Amino acid sequence: MINIKGAFVPFLGAVIRGEKPQQRGSALSFTLSGAWAGEIVEERGGRISRRISKSRGEYFYILGEELSAADKKLAEMAKADLIDFASAAPEEIGLETAFNYSYGKLAGNAKAEMLAYLISHDTVGNGPLGILLEDKAVIEEIEVSTPTGPISVYTSNYGRCRTNISFTGEEAFRHTINKFIYEQDKELNDASPVIDVQVNEARVHAQVKPYASSGAAASIRIGGGKEIGIKAMLSGRSLDANILAYLSMAVEARMNMVVAGAPASGKTTLLSLIGSFISKQSKLVVIEEDINELRFEEPVMNVTSLYGSRFGNVNPSEQVINALRLRPDRIIIGEIRGREASELFSGANLGIPFITTMHSNEENLAIIKRLISKPMSVEARSMSMLDLAVYMRQSGVRSRIVSSIKEYLWFSRAETEAGMDLGEGESVEEKTVAKDGVMPPECIGDSKVITCYAKFAAITYKSALRELRRRAAEYGKYTLPEG
């Protein structure tokens, strides 16, 4: 969970300097506007009311009630009182203490509970970010587009919802973001107008002027508390049991694979799941540029995590080279975008398999063209190390599915004599083995993965197919034919 204790400390500077809190820092950093009319489709739990309504095809996430001018004035006075109380306390106070103190001061007011809740979050918590994070079971992302416009949230069940919560200005936005990232040794200011940082389960990207022309822009992507394992992927119909069995065999056969798709299509989630198939005895090197998003369902005993550019000037390409010097059994890199792709494929030529993701809206052989083109510039003779690609796409609001899985057959590896000419005497042909989240029976015949697994396990192709069926039966209902 996000640690909120002590988060109010930067805001007590005025108190420490002897200034009256009423003169500085006592206004709420956010406000609640009136609830939009519409049909209430869901009531959410919480200390104060949360509801999701629908009007003219648009969804709204409504918190509490509208704050009038009198409410705001009362809240300002109560917050100033709470700051005085907190500054005089012998130790840091938490949300519950702050709520109880404010509620006691506001007793008798019709909105006492709601105001005390808002004040405590704004003073010792993280303002509207902390409030929305209390509903992280369904909220996947918090979005800010302007300093005073409505905050939006992306929910698991309804997609993007406009809230009735707004910051009171650019300064309030900056203060809230900086309070949220307080322990990360970063600050959003004029000298650092763009920040990208992880706070426990939340990935925070925020910008202010001159890069955010509106004065404020932020995305807080929430990963904690959500199921990402095999059970969740199956129940969400992202893929079926046959694909899971197939991917587990591809991992054991040390095959190189890329998970591709558009942003928010589920690439990192699937990469984490695939990583869970790696033997616990393997030495695994994981490379991520700045943010640690990979969480394996099954722990690997020997994992070395490297950052690509979080500290100093070491970039992902250099970290791939460094990873090769660590003698890993496998490399996982969170995403390839530039020269690190070429180094990764060169490492595969040395016998170190990889699994990675990349952004791509295109399927089929278009991914090959992207990899050999700038800025990735993978050489044609190294490209033959790519065994398969898993393409992800978002399917409606609630789910992400495997759009397709492609196996690549290479001329230089005597796997094909046809396909797309890449130059340097290399050509490639693709074979579809899965589409739309399922593996049709007609697609699995003469599979490269099954063939390689059979060689790896020193068994026949038919025995490898039986192993595929056995594993699929463990995950769910088997759909492939006997044979």
Instruction: Express each pLDDT in 149-183 by its tens digit.
Output: 999 999 988 989 999 999 999 999 999 999 999 88
Tell me the residue ranges of DSSP E strands in 20-136: 30-32, 39-44, 50-55, 58-63
CA proximity to 387, closest of 306, 456, 318: 456
- Rounded CA-CA distance 382/333 in Å is 17
Give me the pLDDT at residue 2, please.
33
Instruction: Express each pLDDT in 355-375 by its tens digit.
Output: 999 998 888 788 999 999 999
CA proximity to 51, closest of 164, 196, 188: 164
Residues contacting residue 110 through CB under 8 Å, at least 6 positions apart: none
**Percentage, residues of the chain above pLDDT 90:** 57
Which one is the CATH code of 230-475: 3.40.50.300, 3.30.300.30, 3.60.20.10, 1.20.120.80? 3.40.50.300
Task: Return the HEC string of 277-289.
Answer: CCCCCCEEEEEEC
- Rounded CA-CA distance 147/149 in Å is 6
Do the domains at 9-222 and 230-475 have one common CATH topology?
A: no
CB 324 within 8 A of CB 360: no
**Poorest-pLDDT segment among 123-137, 268-282, 459-473:** 268-282
9-222 topology per CATH: Beta-Lactamase (3.30.450)
Give me the pLDDT at residue 445, please.
82
pLDDT-based confidence at residue 10 (cuts at 50, 70, 90):
very low
For the chain, the domains span 9-222, 230-475
Give me the pLDDT at residue 345, please.
96
Structure tokens at 188: 């959003």
Q: 381-412 burial string, b = 16+ CB within 10 Å, else e?
A: bbbbbbbbbbbbbbbeeebbbbbbbbbbbbbb
- Checking if the pLDDT of 16 tops 70, the result is no
Q: Residue type for 215, please?
A: G
pLDDT-based confidence at residue 15 (cuts at 50, 70, 90):
very low
In this prediction, residues 276-284 reach a mean pLDDT of: 86
Give me the pLDDT at residue 483, please.
43
Structure tokens at 266: 């589920």
More confident residue, 35 or 462: 462
In this prediction, residues 134-160 reach a mean pLDDT of: 92
Instruction: Express each pLDDT in 198-245 by its tens digit.
Output: 888 788 999 999 999 999 999 998 864 455 566 666 665 667 889 999
Give me the pLDDT at residue 135, please.
93
